[in-house]
Amino acid sequence: MAVYYDPETRTFTLSTRNTTYQMKADELGTLLHTYYGTKTDTSDLSYAIHMQDRGLSGNPYETGQTDRGYSLDQLPQEVSCFGTGDYRTSSMKITNEDGTAALRLKYADHKIQKGKYSLPGLPASYDGEGAAQTLSITMRDEESGVTVELYYGVFADLDVITRAARIVNDGPGAKYVNKAGSMNLDFVSGEFDLITFYGKWARERVTERTPVNHGNLSIGSVRGASSPHYNPSAILCERSATETAGEAYGFAYVYSGDFLFEAEKDQIDQTRLVCSIHPMDFTWKLAPGESFYTPEILMTYSADGFAGLSNHFHEFIRKHIVRGKWRDIRRPVLINNWEGTYFDFNGDKLVAIAKDAAELGIELFVMDDGWFGKREDDNSGLGDWYPNEKKLGCTLKELGERIEDTGVKFGIWFEPEAVSEDSDLYREHPEWAMTIPGRLPNRSRNELILNMGREDVQDYILERMTEILRSAPISYVKWDFNRSVCDKFIETLPPDRQGEIAHRFTLGTYRVLEELIRTFPELLIEGCSSGGGRFDAGMLYYTPQIWCSDDTDPIERLTIQYGTSFIYPPNTMGAHVSASPNHQTRRVTPLQTRGVTAMSGTFGYELDLNKLTDEEKQEVKRQVRVFRDLYETLEQGEYYRLTTPFSDTCTVWEQVSRDKRTAVVNAVYHYARANHTPVYVRLRGLDTEKTYRLRLTEGNDYKTLPEHEQILFEEGRTFTGRTLMTRGIFIPIYLTEYQAWQIIAEEA
């Protein structure tokens, strides 16, 4: 049983295949957190919580005057409340109508149900196959009349536990939610590192490992989107944890707006993790009877290092976050015209690209920015979602049909949440833009943001997108979002609700996406936010893939995709082969290297195919074939990072098919150096008993390698899985700068 309640000890034990999570409602009603880690039994683990009088850490009144050891300031808890004696950072802060801010939630009741809870208006993982159980624990603060339901979704097979909460105002007056935490997770012992994914435009999700020392270590966003600056995910691990060993806990927030993730080490070296909507610009008013749902957070644990943790998340996101038709079927290899033409195109030019693409085996053509309104550059036109027929030379329907006639599907770009001041929409509805009366707004890429918290704005976007999507054969949409949100104001909200705008903005975007998917269930939507500026599990609920970064340089992508892979699977990472020299870095790289890197993402192209030589076109054809052949392994298989892009000469990663009959070892050299030091790797995830043969991918003749390196690929030579995972192999040397290899291990 995934959820077990012992009425005698009042313990709740959540069991997954390899992990146990336990909590206990103690005599005073505090919901203690007693354990999370390697699987153990269901016995009451609260004995291990040490209590002692610590000066300046007070005691709840009901403990009497004798027990000074019982302090909310040191007990590990499932939900931590501000204002009643726990002075660490808290997961919930609520202010009453009279201005007092005090909350003390006590256990009241619980329910265990089959299936998975859902969260109205918010993305959340779903069950579908009867794989999950839900535990809801009701916590009450009698004095203020606040009820909080804590939700736990247990996906036993995948070692994932999800959490969320519902805050209800059961009291008389209004309440103001100042901090809405999805998770409070306390560890009474352990020395930890926190791994986070920081970045910026064109350099998203770079890993950074920081010791959790005394104080509060936090990452977050107040940009209205999860942002490229800090991804809403993190790993807490023991100091010695590596890819292959050690305890590691992973967290992914299923939310795309402002967030805060905190790790705090307290006075007695306990560690607390809190994940919440960022409280800096958040207050949510609850009138009597109203309730508020926090977003969901995913948690997983691995006793065997980061690879285990990543594989739990990959499978979970693929199966229980991504939805619809595109969850299970192969996504099309696409070509996007952005880096090929930028704004300089017309219908004929696009059809010519589509024609070339079709001949090379590409399956979808995406028309990027510039097809609508008055949009010759990025200074105008956003919001006017009407095709520019003069520029296209035909209607959108005609263009779509011409594209489809070449043999590829047709997709288009939108930036629904944005508006240009130079647009008919802005001239007609200036009040729809996010601005504060009497204050000049902040411009970014010369655009303003639409107030997605307003229903009329949401309806306008839905109406425009629906009409466009109905008007032409469109099977794919790139949903872009190219700025951060500030200047927040909604004229229809009273002053004490203005703090709701950031969250309402995110909910508005979710509503539009949800309705769009309901109307067009076949549509494939790719998320984007100036590249990977809103790459999170919340968006993946609506958009099965997200453009990983505007940086398409394959060497830069090694770092970006490496960081992204800790949490998100390859089939969510938009990745394209672009031109060389690269447009962002000017670096010249082989086409093969660009192909190998992009194949560990959704795979596509973003260049002017007309500028390729015949030989290069043949190489593109080959790449598309290789990708299709290896699709199951590359996109659905287990993922292993064998070296890092930071300290090693060569980044090496591996995907292994579910049946363990095929593995792909991808290797990209970062630089060439005389008297090269060999790169050795041990493969992972193979079947120890199976026998494998190694080969290079199609188009690479192993006989071009130095003679002594050919030994790996010689006819008739086989290796056991055990050998490949213990002794391992060397990576063939580079024959050119930035050489990439794909070595296939196939069951012999």
Q: Which of 356, 550, 556, 638 binds ligand GLA (CB under 6 A)?
A: 550
CA 356 to chain centre: 34
Considering only 166-174, 184-192, 420-428, 525-533, which stretch makes contact with ligand GLA by CB under 6 A? 525-533
Active site annotation includes 616: yes
Q: Report if residue 602 touches ligand GLA, rule: CB under 6 A.
A: no
Determine whether 661 is exposed, middle or buried from the number of CB atoms within 10 Å of its CB (0-12, 13-18, 19+). middle
To the nearest whole angstrom, how small is the minimum distance from the Cβ of residue 123 to ligand GLA?
22
149 contacts ligand GLA (rule: CB under 6 A):
no
Q: Can residue 608 be called a binding residue for ligand GLA (CB under 6 A)?
A: no
Report the C-alpha gap between 612 and 742 in whole angstroms. Answer: 23
Residue type, 491: E
- How far is the C-alpha of 713 from the C-alpha of 443, rounded, in Å? 57
Please report whether residue 583 would count as binding ligand GLA according to CB under 6 A.
no
Q: By CB under 6 A, name the one of 15, 125, 423, 530 that touches ligand GLA.
A: 530
Q: Quick check: 269 binds ligand GLA (CB under 6 A)? A: no
Cβ nearer to ligand GLA, comparing 232 with 531: 531
Q: What angle do CA 703, 706, 708 make, to 5 degrees?
A: 100
Contact with ligand GLA (CB under 6 A): which of 368, 384, 635, 654?
A: 368
CA atoms within 13 A on the CB side of 635: 29
133 near ligand GLA, judged by CB under 6 A: no
User: 159 catalytic, yes or no?
Assistant: no
598 vs 33: CA distance, rounded Å: 43
Bridge-based pairing of strands 638-641 and 650-656 is antiparallel
Q: How far is the CB of 455 from ligand GLA (least distance, A)?
A: 27
By CB under 6 A, is residue 531 in contact with ligand GLA? yes
**Residue number with CB closer to ligand GLA (533 or 721):** 533
Stretch that binds ligand GLA, among 286-294, 417-425, 427-435, 528-536 (CB under 6 A): 528-536
Among 6, 97, 378, 709, binds ligand GLA (CB under 6 A): 378
| CB of 70 or CB of 338, closer to ligand GLA | 338
526 lines the binding site for ligand GLA (CB under 6 A) = no
Catalytic residue among 157, 378, 398, 616: 616
Of 247 and 368, which has the nearer Cβ to ligand GLA? 368
**Residue (of 477, 474, 503) closest to 488 by Cα position:** 503
How many CB atoms are located within 10 Å of the residue 351 CB? 18
Chain residues 398-437 in contact with ligand GLA, contact rule CB under 6 A? 413
* Amino acid in the structure at residue 692: Y
Nearer to ligand GLA by C-beta: 453 or 531?
A: 531
Q: Given the rule CB under 6 A, which of 527-535, 583-591, 678-686, 711-719 is the region that contacts ligand GLA?
A: 527-535
**Cα(397)–Cα(388) distance, integer angstroms:** 12
Residue 606's nearest CA partner among 361, 370, 367 is 367
Q: CA angle at residue 238 from 236 to 244, to 5 degrees?
A: 95
- Please tell me the distance from the alpha carbon of residue 718 to that of residue 270, in angstroms, as a whole number: 51
In the complex, what is the shortest distance from the CB of residue 587 to ligand GLA, in angstroms, rounded to a whole number? Answer: 19
Written as one letter, the residue type at 463 is: E
Binding mask 443-482 for ligand GLA (x = CB under 6 A): -------------------------------------x-x
Rule CB under 6 A: say whether 582 interacts with ligand GLA. Answer: no
Q: Please report whether residue 552 would count as binding ligand GLA according to CB under 6 A.
A: no
Instruction: Give residue 485's identity as a one-letter amino acid code.
Output: V
Is residue 340 close enough to count as binding ligand GLA by CB under 6 A?
Answer: no
Of the listed pieces 253-261, 314-322, 526-534, 698-706, which binds ligand GLA according to CB under 6 A? Answer: 526-534
**Based on CB atoms, which residue is closest to ligand GLA, 341 or 657?**
341
Minimum CB distance to ligand GLA, residue 386 (Å): 18
At what angle are helices 554-565 and 591-598 packed, to 10 degrees?
Answer: 10
Q: Which of 536, 551, 556, 654 is catalytic?
A: 536
> Residue 335: exposed, middle, or buried by beta-carbon count in 10 A (0-12, 13-18, 19+)?
buried
For ligand GLA, the closer CB: 531 or 645: 531
Tell me, by CB under 6 A, how many residues bind ligand GLA. Answer: 12
176 touches 94 (CB < 8 A): yes
279 with 171: CB under 8 angstroms?
no
220 binds ligand GLA (CB under 6 A): no
| Type of residue numbered 531 | G
Tokens of 734: 């580079």
Compute the least distance from the CB of residue 373 to ligand GLA, in Å.
Answer: 13
338 contacts ligand GLA (rule: CB under 6 A): yes
Closest to 535 measured CA to CA, from 524, 545, 523: 545
Question: Nearer Cβ to ligand GLA, position 445 or 658?
Answer: 445
Radius of gyration of the chain (CA): 27
Is residue 233 part of the contact set for ligand GLA (CB under 6 A)?
no
Interaction of residue 535 with ligand GLA, rule CB under 6 A: no
Phi and psi for 213 in degrees, rounded to 5?
A: -105, -175
Torsion of CA 600, 132, 233, 312, to 10 degrees: -40
Nearer to ligand GLA, 482 or 697 (CB): 482
From the list 16, 287, 325, 309, the residue with the least C-alpha distance to 177 is 287
Residue number with CB closer to ligand GLA (160 or 225) = 225
Instruction: Give the pairing type, strands 132-141 and 146-155.
Output: antiparallel
Handedness of CA 553, 221, 504, 184 (dihedral sign): positive
| 3-state SS track over 340-371 | HHCCCCCHHHHHHHHHHHHHCCCCEEEECCCC
258, 264, 369, 536: which one binds ligand GLA (CB under 6 A): 369
Q: Which amino acid is at 379?
A: N
Tell which residue, 101, 109, 98, has the closest CA to residue 172: 98
The verdict on 556 binding ligand GLA (CB under 6 A) reads: no
Question: At closest approach, how far in Å is the CB of 558 from ligand GLA?
Answer: 19
Cβ-based nearer residue to ligand GLA, 604 or 721: 604
Nearest residue to ligand GLA, by Cβ distance, number only:
369
Q: At what angle do helices 455-471 and 501-519 cross, to 10 degrees?
A: 30
Residues that are catalytic: 536, 616
Question: Residues interacting with ligand GLA, by CB under 6 A?
Answer: 338, 368-369, 378, 413, 480, 482, 528, 530-531, 547, 550
